[in-house]
């Protein structure tokens, strides 16, 4: 019993994965089938991740010195542990240049989300961030769980609503209420507050979806085990993408599908706080808007 504490049993079945009308990578809509699945009610929190690290002494990707052979031509002085941190700009900037609002921050990691001087104080219930795909895999193995595939994640995020735009329906506001932690205001400088803070929010600050899952969209992106593909032309990721069959060895260049959008998604820039939305992420590229949740076969 206890091993499914904090999880929700999502009934499996066939569903239509993907979406038309937004971004090419979500197309075409394809049929997918998933089994019954226990899914974490919310993304893994800092408090939960801390228990894992205490137990295992795991050192995350962002805490390790990058290997020079993985970054040919890089200035050796730049090869220090660190991560990407979002920084709001002072005013409007061209939205085609993400380097305006992302900075490489030496010393940023899951314990120091804004850089060396920052702490997790008050962030215990926030999703863990600055975790790479291998960190998420290691946590899942420790917890006796695994990461979801893209179809599993999307099916669970839809909450039983076939082909709805959002995890709660087709309109962004639900009965006048904002349903998820995404960017409010003009990106990337005007951040209007939805809750007591800015950036990530405590898990379950916003209402859960139809399956009882919180923060499936918005707040933080979430890792899946599916290899990145530029669209659904080849169909839904098959069982070969499944993490069930022993450790997967990845290299610096591998990209995985991440799902759900984040607190940094704004309609003017990135309308990805939707179950169908997806992006490819290099497995060791960590940021302060990417976390994960785990699953277990039902
Ligand atoms: Cu986004």
Q: Tell me the CA–centroid distance for residue 241 and ligand 1, in Å.
A: 24
Q: Tell me the CA–centroid distance for residue 268 and ligand 1, in Å.
A: 10
Q: For the segment 1-59, what is each residue's pLDDT rounded down to a tens digit?
A: 458 999 999 999 999 999 999 999 999 999 999 999 999 999 999 999 999 999 999 99
Cβ-Cβ contacts under 8 Å for 230 (sequence gap 6 or more): 24, 25, 280
Range of lowest pLDDT (12-26, 74-88, 226-240, 270-284): 226-240
Q: Tell me the CA–centroid distance for residue 182 and ligand 1, in Å.
A: 8
Q: Tell me the CA–centroid distance for residue 170 and ligand 1, in Å.
A: 18
pLDDT, position 237 = 65
Q: Tell me the CA–centroid distance for residue 259 and ligand 1, in Å.
A: 10
pLDDT band at 194 (very low <50, low <70, confident <90, very high): confident
Q: What is the pTM of this model?
A: 0.95
Q: Tell me the CA–centroid distance for residue 266 and ligand 1, in Å.
A: 7
Residue 119 exposed, middle or buried by CB count within 10 Å (0-12, 13-18, 19+):
exposed
Q: Tell me the CA–centroid distance for residue 1 and ligand 1, in Å.
A: 36
d(CA 130, CA 108): 8
Q: For the segment 214-260, what is each residue's pLDDT rounded down to a tens digit?
A: 999 999 999 999 999 999 988 876 544 444 444 567 888 899 999 99
């Amino acid at each position: 019993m206890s091993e499914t504490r904090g999880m929700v049993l999502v009934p499996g079945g066939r569903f239509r994965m993907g979406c038309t009308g937004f971004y090419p990578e979500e197309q075409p809509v394809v049929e997918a089938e998933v089994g019954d699945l226990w899914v974490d009610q919310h993304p893994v929190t800092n408090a939960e991740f801390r228990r894992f690290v205490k137990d295992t002494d795991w050192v995350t990707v962002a805490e390790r010195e990058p290997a020079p052979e993985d970054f040919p031509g890089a200035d050796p002085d730049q090869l220090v542990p660190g991560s990407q941190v979002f920084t709001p700009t002072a005013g409007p900037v061209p939205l085609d240049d993400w380097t305006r609002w992302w900075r490489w921050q030496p010393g940023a990691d899951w314990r120091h989300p804004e850089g060396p001087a920052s702490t997790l104080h008050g962030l215990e219930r926030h999703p863990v961030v600055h975790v790479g795909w291998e960190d998420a895999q290691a946590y899942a193995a420790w917890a006796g769980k695994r990461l979801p595939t893209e179809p599993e994640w999307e099916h669970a995020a839809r909450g039983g609503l076939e082909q709805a735009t959002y995890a709660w329906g087709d309109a962004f506001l639900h009965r006048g209420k904002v349903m998820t932690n995404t960017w409010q205001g003009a990106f990337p400088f005007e951040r209007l507050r939805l809750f007591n803070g800015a950036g990530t929010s405590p898990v379950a600050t916003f209402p859960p979806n139809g399956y009882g899952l919180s923060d499936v969209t918005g707040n933080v992106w979430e890792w899946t085990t599916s290899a990145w593909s530029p669209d659904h032309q080849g169909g839904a990721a098959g069982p070969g993408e499944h993490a069930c069959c022993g450790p997967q060895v990845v290299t610096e260049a591998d990209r995985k599908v991440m799902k759900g959008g984040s607190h940094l998604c704004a309609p003017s820039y990135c309308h990805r706080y939707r179950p169908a939305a997806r992006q490819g992420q290099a497995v060791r590229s960590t940021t302060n808007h990417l976390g994960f949740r785990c699953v277990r076969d039902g």
